[in-house]
Structure 1
Amino acid sequence: MKDMALAEIVLPPQPRDYHGVNWGGLQTLYVREIRRFIKVGMQTLAAPVVTSLLYMLVFVVAVGGGRSVHGVAYGTFVAPGLVMMQILSNAFANSSSSLLQAKFNGLMGDFMTPPLSPAEHTVGFGAGAATRGIFVGAISLVAVLPFARLPVAEPWAVVYFGLGAALIMGFIGIMAGLWAEKFDHMAAVTNFVIMPMTFLSGTFYLVEKLPEPFRTFSKFNPIFYLIDGFRYGFIGRAEGSLTVGVAMTAALVLGTGWICYRMFETGYKIKT
């Protein structure tokens, strides 16, 4: 009888023990992030292209005229910065909106319940955001080519700074999405942090032409080095230090990725 009573005890389900990487779960999360922005392609893909073309129209055709910067046509100087702006903004938007909407819809459990480690959550959301950033950047690049001749002087710089920027902003989007409790918080990050840093980064002008204190501020702006390095990949001229830009990009990818890992590991604003 005693043995039968013990046999009838129902134990709670135990977590599945994965050794190594849960590749199936990681792939599912990544594909989910990709499908999410493709489903609303008019908003996530077409709209940024229209924005890039409008910037080209205003700053190149109406303002730039026939002048040159760094020995190249103004349109050639501006175009890489516009492409990088789309990479930055779309990578940030993808991961931040995904997590914030999951909070509002009560779907955070769908991410936390599957047997995914904090590192796999970080990689899944970050890679999905980076994919959208690179994809939109590539489409924007094709769209602005009729208005600007873009030689590729240093392909490694285009790839390194483009991919690095997408990962950095994807990770920052994760941090913002976990931190924010309402859409006003996300709008504050975008309007008071991301946009000022982007516009004070030399996208449309040489930073050395800025008055103080904006010139000094720009030299401490990480987005300046991302755009400057990305532009160097096309025109072969850099305004800042490439060594600083390469080192800073690697440090930010690792640093922001580690912060995201710790936020998932501790359940920051996820576990209540």
Structure 2
Amino acid sequence: MSNSAPFPPEQRRFGRVNWLGLFTLAEREVLRFANVWTQTLLAPLVTAGLFLVIFTIAIGPQRGEVMGVAFTTFIAPGILTMTVIQNAFANTSSSIVISKVQGNIVDTLMPPLSGAEMVLGYLAGGVARGLFVGVTIALALLVFLGIVPAHPLLALGFIVIGGAFMSGLGMIAGIYANKFDQMAAITNFIVTPLAFLSGTFYSVEALPAGLREITHANPVFYIIDGVRFGIIGVSDSPPLRSFLVSGGATVLVLVVAWLMFRRGYRLKA
């Protein structure tokens, strides 16, 4: 019997990239959330709708206009973006931490995948889930509120950046956490504050100076602000600055995730 590998490298790779392995990992990550769509896709849409309805009823009539637009119109892009980034984070973080807890992370580590290929595979699932949720909410805003995106391609670009940023953060969190309670702590004390304290429901210009500076240090603020400009044409920060800051933060977290995968940090026994 031959001792050679059943699938030689030339059958696994095309050029310098393991396209078959990368596609298989990406497909697995997409099918993970697609197979339980009522939990991963429908539930976030319902939650986003409830947020919008509750804030509109409770605050909308008294708040009036924010930055020259109705309060409901102002918060709609923020709720959309918050839902996108939370789902992107949940997709990558849950996939990795569940595999670690169940002991089958080895199934992902054994195939001939480089650190970059693993990052891209997980990233595809997180961004795809975020995009699906974001586009669906945008269509709902168009149908029910009559909000036509002012700059649709710009809005789409910031949604992709937001999904990629939080997917990368989810990879880092999933690799670091060895137990579900550790993952819950990261979600409650890091991810949730980043999402809620980012201008989702308010303009940062209304904040005191100290809180305003803290908000400007939050990369999620620039993602939400960029999406808001793309959808309703108003923003607290110039779109170019939002793109540079959010894009730079996304590259940083993806590089950290790549280094963790490459070194097998908290993945290999």
Aligned-partner Cα distance in 2 for 1:254–1:215: 25
Aligned-partner Cα distance in 2 for 1:24–1:86: 31
Per-residue CA deviations over 1:83-131 (Å, capped at 9, x if unaligned) read: 1011100000000000000011111111011111111101000111110
CA RMSD for the aligned pairs? 1.9
Aligned residues: 264
Structure 2 equivalent of residue 162 of structure 1? 159
1:189 is aligned with what amino acid? Answer: I
**Which of 33, 39, 42 is the equivalent residue of 1:43?**
39
Structure 2 equivalent of residue 111 of structure 1? 108
Aligned-partner Cα distance in 2 for 1:227–1:163: 12
User: Mind listing any 5+ residue stretches in structure 1 that lack a counterpart?
Assistant: 1-7
**Which of 198, 202, 207 is the equivalent residue of 1:205?**
202
Per-residue CA deviations over 1:193-241 (Å, capped at 9, x if unaligned) read: 1111211111111111123422221111111111011100012111113
Structure 2 equivalent of residue 4 of structure 1? none
1:177 is aligned with what amino acid? Answer: G
The Cα shift of 1:149 comes to 2.8
Listed as ranges, the matches of 1:231-270 within 5 Å are 231-270=228-267
Please state whether the residue corresponding to 2:259 is helix, strand or coil. helix
The Cα shift of 1:20 comes to 1.5
Q: Which moved more, 1:181-190 or 1:204-213?
A: 204-213
Listed as ranges, the matches of 1:79-98 within 5 Å are 79-98=76-95
Aligned-partner Cα distance in 1 for 2:61–2:202: 14
Aligned-partner Cα distance in 1 for 2:8–2:171: 26
Aligned-partner Cα distance in 1 for 2:153–2:42: 27
- Residue 192 (structure 2) pairs with residue 195 (structure 1): yes
Q: Which moved more, 1:227-236 or 1:18-27?
A: 18-27
Structure 1 equivalent of residue 168 of structure 2? 171
Aligned-partner Cα distance in 1 for 2:141–2:46: 10
TM-score relative to the length of structure 1: 0.91
Per-residue CA deviations over 1:154-200 (Å, capped at 9, x if unaligned) read: 22320221100100100110111000011111111111111112111
Aligned-partner Cα distance in 1 for 2:59–2:235: 23
The Cα shift of 1:16 comes to 4.4
**Contact residue 75 and residue 147 of structure 1 kept, 8 A:** no
**Contact residue 218 and residue 224 of structure 1 kept, 8 A:** yes
Aligned-partner Cα distance in 2 for 1:166–1:72: 26
- Residue 179 (structure 2) pairs with residue 182 (structure 1): yes
Aligned-partner Cα distance in 2 for 1:222–1:76: 22
Larger Rg, first or second structure (1 or 2): 1
Aligned-partner Cα distance in 2 for 1:12–1:234: 56
Aligned-partner Cα distance in 2 for 1:225–1:44: 25
**Contact residue 142 and residue 148 of structure 2 kept, 8 A:** no
**Contact residue 200 and residue 218 of structure 1 kept, 8 A:** yes
Per-residue CA deviations over 1:227-257 (Å, capped at 9, x if unaligned) read: 0111000121111132221111221222111
- Runs of 4+ aligned structure 1 residues displaced above 4 Å come to 10-16
- Identical positions, percent: 41
**Contact residue 81 and residue 204 of structure 1 kept, 8 A:** yes
TM-score relative to the length of structure 2: 0.92
2:50 is aligned with what amino acid? Answer: L
The Cα shift of 1:143 comes to 3.3
